[in-house]
Structure 1
Amino acid sequence: MNTLELSIPQNIPLENSITPSECTCPNCGHQGLSIFYDVRQVPVHSCLMLPTQEDALNFPQGDVILGVCAECGFITNVAFDPQWSAYAPNYEDQQSFSPTFNQFALDLANRLIDKYDLRNQDIIEIGCSKGDFLLLLCELGGNRGVGIDPSVLPGRVQNEAASRVTFIQDYYSEKHAQYVGEFICCRHTLEHIQPTAEFLKTVRTSIGDRQDTVIFFEVPDTIRVLQDLAFEDIYYEHCSYFTPGSLARLFRSCGFEVIDLYRAYGDQYLLIEAKPTATRAEQVHPLEETPAQLVQTVQAFITRIQQKLAHWKQTLEQFQASGKRVVVWGSGSKCVSFLTTLDTVDLIQYVVDINPHRQGKFIPGVGKEIMAPEFLTDYQPDHVIVMNPIYLSEIQHSLDSLGVITQVMSV
C-alpha cells in the first residue's frame, strides 16, 4: 500500500466528524485520503441561472475539501453532497457562442470522424449539454445520434442533422444501453460525478460484448490546475479531479484499453480514447504520471497557493480603494469560484458574458446581474478581468469593436 505524506500548514477539520482515514477513493476504493485544500461555504452550483438577485444570494452553499488518493492519484471533494447534483434546463453551460471554442469543437469533431471513420454511424453522447457537439458530429459525418442530459433543451441548437438526433432529458444509466452504437462521447461530465468507477462500469456494462465501440471522454486536466495554481477551476460541481495517470488507471480498471491520451485547448483539457476489452489492459501511456509524481505536484500547490490567493485579493482591494471600475468577463464557474474563493464578491461591479441565455440572469452565490458586452460601451471600465486566458485575443477584439479602452487582465 502506498503512503502519502503532505506538509499541510494546518489541520483541516472535516464536517460531520469525518476523518481522512474514513474517506474512500471513488476511483480505486482505497481507504484513506490526504486532505490538502479547502474552501468553505461556496455555491453548490455555478451555472444555474437565477431570475432575481435575492434568489442568487440565498443560493445553497457547501464546502470544497479536496483529498488525494495515494494509491491511484485521484483527487475528490470529500465534502461533496450528491443531493446537489440536480441539473436542469436552466443549467446554462453552452460555450458555442465563442468563435475560439467553436473552432476547437470543429477541429476535434473532424479529427474523431476521420480517425474512427464515424460516417453513417450511431453515436451516443452522455452529458450532451445543449447538444452542440453531438449535432456537429452527426452533421459532418452523416451520423445518427442520441444525446442524454437532464439539462438538454431540444431545439436550442439549429442544425441540419437535428432530424437524425434524439435528445433524452435524463441522467445516463444502464436503461440507455439500447442506444449504444459505434461511438460513445462524454465531454466535461465525468468531473461532475463522484462515484467515478461505478459510473464508468455502467458504461462498460452497457456496451456488453461489443468490441468495436469507441469511447471518448474529455475532462479538465488537474495537473494544469495544480501547476498553474488555477483555484478558479476548483468549485463545488467539480467533485472529481483527473490527471492523465488517474484517468487512464480508472479506464483500465473498468474494462477499457486506452488507445490515446492527450491534452488540448491550451492544455486545459484532458482527452482519452479507449475501447472495451475482455481482459484487463496493462499498458501505460507515456503521458501518465505516477501517484508519487502527483504527490509532488500537490505538495508544490500547497506551498504556493496561498500566495496567489493573497495577490488577487490584494489587487481587487487596491482597485476598489482607488475607485477603479472593475468588470469580470465570463460569468460561469470560473467567475463564481474566483470571487467566492477570494471572498471578494463586493469588490467587482459587473460581470459580462457573450451567452445571450445568461444575460439578465443572476449568478448563484455572487448575486451580480450578467450584462451583455455592449454594456461596456457606456460603462467604460478601468479593468477587465478575463476568467480564461485562451479567450484573451477574442475578448480584446470585442472590446476594440465596442470602442472600450481598458486594461485587460487574465487570471
Structure 2
Amino acid sequence: MTACRLCGSATLSSVVDLGATPPCESFLAADQLDLAEPAYPLHLRVCTECWLAQIPPLIKPEETFTEYAYFSSFSTSWVEHARTFVADAVERAGLGEDAFVVEVASNDGYLLKHVVKRGIRCLGVEPSVNVGAAAREAGVPTLTAFLSPDTGAAVRAEHGPANLVVANNVYAHIPDVVGFTQGLRALVADDGWVSIEVQHLLTLIEENQYDTIYHEHFQYYTVASAIRALASGGLALVDVELLPTHGGSIRLWARPAEVAGEPSARVADVLAREKAAGLQELSGYTEFSARVAKVRRDLLKFLVEAAERGETVVGYGAPGKGNTLLNHCGIRPDLLAYTVDRNPYKHGRFTPGTRIPILAPEQIAADKPDYVLVLPWNLRAELTEQLAYVHEWGGRLVFPIPELSIVEAASSKEVTA
C-alpha cells in the first residue's frame, strides 16, 4: 500500500500487522475443506496527513457482498437499536408521510421495516442478492446495487431526492471513500440529512478491539478523519453521537455543505477527546500492537490450560470479527471444539482459515461444555442474558476483549486474567 485512499499522501505508518487471513465471511461448506483457501495480508496503517487508518484494498467488495452471510435481524438488540434510531431520526429530520428515506447497505430490511410501519416511503440500496431478497420478502423495497455517484443520481432521478439517507456500518466497507461519499450527496436532498454509523477508532485503540480489523473494513474513522471524508463529497458534519454499538461507534449527522451551518458542541468535544488520546500524532498508536499481542497470549494460555485439564470449550457466534481473532491466535478445533450461531445460513459450515464447525445454538445445552467463548463480545449484555442457562451446569462464559474475562457460574462473578 503506497498512498492514502482519502488524501493521496504516501506517509503511511504501521499500527498493527495481523498476518494473513481469509476473508472473514467466506465460511466453508464441507465439500470445500480439501480445497485451497486464499488468505490476504491484514496490516493496519494510519495516514500521518489526514489520520485515516486503513488496510490495503486487496479484495473487491463484489467478492464479499454479492452473496453475504450476515443478516442483521438475527441480533435482537440491533433490531431494537434500529427501531429507536428511526423514531429519533423522524423527529430530528422532521419527516412526514410525504418524506423519502434511503438506506445504503440496508441488509435484510432490519431498519427500513420501521420506516415502512410509519407509512413513510423508503428504498433500500443493498448489493447482496440473498439478503436483499429477504428484505423484499419482508415488505421493504430494495434495489440490488452498490452505491456510486451514478447509482445515487439514478435513484434520485427515479424516486426524487431523499430527505434522509442512512448509511449504518457501511462507511468502513468501501475502498472508494470519495466516490461513495459523492453517491451519498447525489441521493440526499439539498436541505436533507445524512446519518452514518461507523466504529470509532478511538474505542478500537483504547479497548484492544483489533478483531474488528478485517478485509471488509477498508478504513477506520476518527471524527477528525470522517470530517475530511465527508467533505470530499460535498457534505459537512453538523453533529455526532457516541454509541455503545460494536464496542463503541460514532453516529455522524451530516448535511450538504451549503446548508450545514456550524457543528454542534459535541463535535468539538469528541475532537478534543481524540486529540487528547494522541490520535492525530503517532504517539496514540505506538502501544497498540503490544496490547494486541497480550490479548492473543492470554486467550491461548487459557485455551491450552483448559485443554490440559480435560475441560471443554466451545464458541458462541460466528461473526466476522471472530474470524480475525481465531486466525490471529491460530485457534483450531483441538482448542475450540465448535461454535454455534443463530443464523441457519452458517449451520454445517466451517470458519474460514481455522475450519471450526458451526452448529445450531441448541448444541450447547446438549453438550454442557465447561466454557463458552463469546466471539461477538460487543453484544455482551444481550448474550450474557441469552446464555444464562450455561450456569445451570456450572458452565462459564469467556469474553476475550478488551481483556480476557471469565464469568463464574454460580455467582456470575467476573474474573479477569
Q: Per the shorter chain, which TM-score range?
A: 0.7 to 0.9
Indicate how the Cα distance of structure 1 residues 48 and 356 shifts in structure 2: closer, same or farther if over 3 A, else same: same
Q: Is the 8 A contact 1:34 1:68 kept in 2?
A: yes
Q: Is the 8 A contact 1:399 1:405 kept in 2?
A: no
Partner residue of 2:398? Answer: 409
Q: Is the 8 A contact 2:199 2:221 kept in 1?
A: yes
1:358 corresponds to 2:332: no
Secondary structure of 1:68's counterpart equals strand
Q: Is the 8 A contact 2:148 2:182 kept in 1?
A: no
Secondary structure of 1:86's counterpart equals helix
Cα-to-partner distance string for 1:331-372 (whole Å, 9 max, x where unaligned): 011210110011112321111112233223332223222111
Q: Is the 8 A contact 1:256 1:281 kept in 2?
A: no
1:197 corresponds to 2:173: no
Indicate how the Cα distance of structure 1 residues 400 and 34 shifts in structure 2: closer, same or farther if over 3 A, else same: closer
Q: Distance in 1 between matches of 2:31 and 2:373?
A: 22
Partner residue of 2:154? Answer: 178
Partner residue of 2:121? Answer: 144
Cα-to-partner distance string for 1:18-45 (whole Å, 9 max, x where unaligned): 6xxxx2111222222011211222012x
Partner residue of 2:318? Answer: 331
Partner residue of 2:387? Answer: 399
TM normalised by structure 2 equals: 0.83
Q: Is the 8 A contact 1:389 1:410 kept in 2?
A: yes
Q: Distance in 1 between matches of 2:297 and 2:32?
A: 29
Secondary structure of 1:236's counterpart equals coil
Partner residue of 1:4? Answer: none
Matched to 1:315, the amino acid is F
Q: Distance in 1 between matches of 2:260 and 2:90?
A: 27
Of 163, 180, 188, the match for 2:169:
188
Secondary structure of 1:156's counterpart equals helix
Q: Distance in 2 between matches of 1:157 and 1:145?
A: 12
Query: How far off its partner does 1:290 sit?
Result: 4.0
Partner residue of 1:8? Answer: none
Of 48, 62, 81, the match for 2:58:
81
Secondary structure of 2:111's counterpart equals helix
Matches within 5 A, 1:287-366: 287-288=270-271, 289-290=274-275, 293-294=278-279, 295-346=282-333, 347-366=335-354
Partner residue of 1:240? Answer: 219
Matched to 1:148, the amino acid is V
Matched to 1:287, the amino acid is V
Q: Is the 8 A contact 1:109 1:136 kept in 2?
A: yes
Q: Is the 8 A contact 1:92 1:357 kept in 2?
A: yes
Q: Is the 8 A contact 2:5 2:176 kept in 1?
A: yes
Matched to 1:309, the amino acid is R
Q: Is the 8 A contact 1:226 1:301 kept in 2?
A: yes
Of 2, 6, 10, the match for 1:31:
10
Partner residue of 1:13? Answer: none
Of 220, 235, 255, the match for 1:275:
255
Q: Is the 8 A contact 2:202 2:222 kept in 1?
A: yes
Query: How far off its partner does 1:326 sit?
Result: 0.9
Superposed CA RMSD? 2.6
Q: Distance in 1 between matches of 2:165 and 2:262?
A: 22
What is the aligned residue count?
A: 382
Q: Is the 8 A contact 1:326 1:383 kept in 2?
A: yes
Matched to 1:313, the amino acid is L
Of 37, 45, 50, the match for 1:59:
37
Q: Is the 8 A contact 1:353 1:370 kept in 2?
A: yes
Matched to 1:241, the amino acid is Y
Partner residue of 1:167? Answer: 142
Partner residue of 2:49? Answer: 71
Q: Is the 8 A contact 1:356 1:372 kept in 2?
A: yes
Following superposition, which runs of at least 4 residues in structure 1 exceed 4 angstroms of deviation?
157-160, 279-284, 401-404
1:104 corresponds to 2:49: no
Indicate how the Cα distance of structure 1 residues 191 and 199 shifts in structure 2: closer, same or farther if over 3 A, else same: same
Q: Is the 8 A contact 1:227 1:297 kept in 2?
A: no
Query: How far off its partner does 1:280 sit?
Result: 9.5
Query: How far off its partner does 1:291 sit?
Result: 9.9
Q: Distance in 2 between matches of 1:90 and 1:254?
A: 28
Secondary structure of 2:102's counterpart equals strand
| 91-100 or 237-246, larger mean C-alpha shift | 91-100
Indicate how the Cα distance of structure 1 residues 68 and 57 shifts in structure 2: closer, same or farther if over 3 A, else same: farther
Q: Is the 8 A contact 1:58 1:365 kept in 2?
A: no
Secondary structure of 2:141's counterpart equals strand
Which protein, 1 or 2, shows the higher relative CO under an 8 Å CA cutoff with sep ≥ 6?
1
